[in-house]
């Protein structure tokens, strides 16, 4: 598609480079395409420095629509996917690029974003695409996130960036940074909702068989992924019992009795092998159970609170606000998809 043929309310440009992560491109691309099926008006352009195909990290090569020079002057959204841009990703100080760089003075990906970002209403990144924005100084003094495995590196390499290691995506002004891989779906759905409303975004989410939507502030990992696998057989049995039956009595005294250890010893081995206290683990397990019940069923909050082990809706509500920053009702509204035929 030529840039001159673009007739759209919102032009989205993907800034591609060699060794880009395929999922970081494909997932948001599919979201925008399906949004058009439900009334949105997006035109998506895949751009590379000279209009050349780009390699990906998944054994595939992507053809592009336009070269940098042919991108329309005014664009709605610039999206920078992650990848393995070895020549710049972890190189500090690259925001000192001269206004008139020589052809060989800056890597292609950085030059693309440097030229396109000022022309976009908003700039988004997925996964390690945030390093491109940070390298250009665009995230200085702003909150941002990236793939969990690279958050420390982002903070260390670009200390002016306020790194949020837990969120799925973070918006600070016109910049939206997303965490790793599948968080690109959440980020793109959030943009669709902002542009065309929750009804369109919900229909896209239902079609894609994903929830609408994980709140941006939701942690990148569940308690199961964050917790180390207990080595001790007795402790593993306790952990499994909490996960499989969160509504049971899981007080420290009860768990210590079942494990045949003192309460003090239980706390110590939990910290050593699970990475958190027993009370914290139980709370997180109950939170996970409540999230599933809210997202997938029609039970009352009283029933959800009882089954998940919180006892009362008030206790569950306080736990949700403390951990997620939203109420159970808001979580259900954002997460649950409606029936076919909305």
What does the pLDDT look like over 183-206, one tens digit per residue?
A: 888 899 889 989 998 788 878 887
pLDDT (0 to 100) of residue 23: 93
Give dist(CA 60, CA 73) in Å, integer. 30
Taking alpha carbons only, the member of 137, 281, 135, 295 closest to residue 214 is 295
pTM over 0.95: no
Q: Is residue 334 helix, strand or coil?
A: helix
Find out whether 134 and 93 touch, Cβ atoms under 8 Å.
no
Answer for the pair 94, 88: CB distance below 8 angstroms, yes or no: yes
Please tell me the predicted confidence (pLDDT) of residue 294.
Answer: 87
In the numeric block, the tokens 């973070």 are attached to 170
Write down all domains in the chain, each with its CATH number in brackets: 10-208 (3.40.50.880), 218-335 (1.10.10.60)
Say if CB 11 and CB 75 are below 8 A apart.
Answer: yes
Answer yes or no: is pLDDT of 96 > 50: no
CB neighbourhood size of 21 (10 A):
23
CB-count burial class (<10 Å; 0-12, 13-18, 19+) for 216: buried
Dihedral of CA 276/186/183/142: which sign?
negative
Judged by average pLDDT, the poorest of 3-17, 73-87, 225-239, 269-283 is: 225-239
**Mean local confidence (pLDDT), 43-58:** 94
All residues at 6 or more sequence positions from 341 whose CB lies less than 8 Å from its CB, including other chains: none
Contact by Cβ (8 Å): 214, 205:
no
User: Pick the residue with more confidence: 68 or 108?
Assistant: 68
Question: Of the candidates 104, 254, 59, which has an alpha carbon nearest to the alpha carbon of residue 245?
Answer: 254
8 A C-beta contact, residue 220 and residue 285: no
- 184/155 Cα distance (integer angstroms): 21
pLDDT at res. 291 = 86
Question: What is the H or E stretch that residue 47 is in?
Answer: strand 42-48
Residue 88, pLDDT above cutoff 80: no
Tokens representing 302? Answer: 């009283």
Task: Using the predicted structure, report yes or no on whether residue 141 has a pLDDT greater than 70.
Answer: yes
């Amino acid at each position: 598609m030529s840039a001159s043929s673009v007739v759209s309310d919102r032009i989205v440009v993907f800034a591609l480079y060699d060794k880009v992560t395929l999922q970081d491109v494909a997932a948001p691309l599919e979201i925008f395409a399906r949004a058009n099926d439900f009334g949105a008006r997006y035109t998506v352009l895949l751009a590379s420095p000279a209009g050349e195909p780009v390699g990906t990290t998944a054994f595939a090569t992507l053809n592009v629509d336009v070269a940098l020079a042919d991108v329309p002057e005014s664009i709605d959204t610039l999206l920078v996917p992650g990848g393995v841009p070895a020549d710049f990703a972890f190189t500090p100080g690259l925001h000192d690029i001269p206004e008139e760089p020589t052809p060989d003075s800056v890597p292609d990906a950085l030059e693309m974003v440097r030229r396109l970002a000022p022309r976009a209403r908003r700039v988004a990144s997925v996964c390690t695409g945030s390093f491109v924005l940070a390298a250009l100084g665009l995230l200085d003094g702003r909150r941002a996130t990236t793939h969990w495995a690279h958050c420390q590196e982002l903070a260390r390499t670009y200390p002016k960036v306020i790194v949020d290691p837990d969120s799925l995506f973070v918006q600070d002004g016109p910049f939206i940074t997303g965490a790793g891989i599948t968080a690109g779906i959440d980020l793109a759905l959030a943009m669709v909702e902002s542009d065309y409303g929750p009804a369109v975004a919900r229909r896209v989410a239902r079609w894609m068989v994903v929830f609408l939507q994980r709140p941006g502030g939701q942690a990148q990992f569940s308690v199961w992924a964050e917790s180390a696998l207990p080595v001790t057989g007795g402790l593993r049995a306790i952990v499994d019992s909490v996960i499989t039956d969160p509504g049971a009595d899981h007080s420290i005294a009860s768990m210590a009795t079942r494990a045949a250890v003192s309460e003090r010893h239980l706390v110590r081995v939990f910290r050593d092998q699970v990475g958190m206290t027993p009370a914290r683990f139980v709370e997180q397990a109950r939170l996970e159970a409540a999230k599933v019940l809210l997202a997938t069923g029609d039970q009352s909050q009283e029933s959800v609170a009882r089954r998940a082990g919180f006892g009362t809706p008030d206790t569950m509500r306080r736990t949700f606000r403390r951990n997620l920053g939203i109420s159970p009702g808001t979580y259900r509204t954002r997460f649950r998809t409606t029936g076919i035929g909305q």
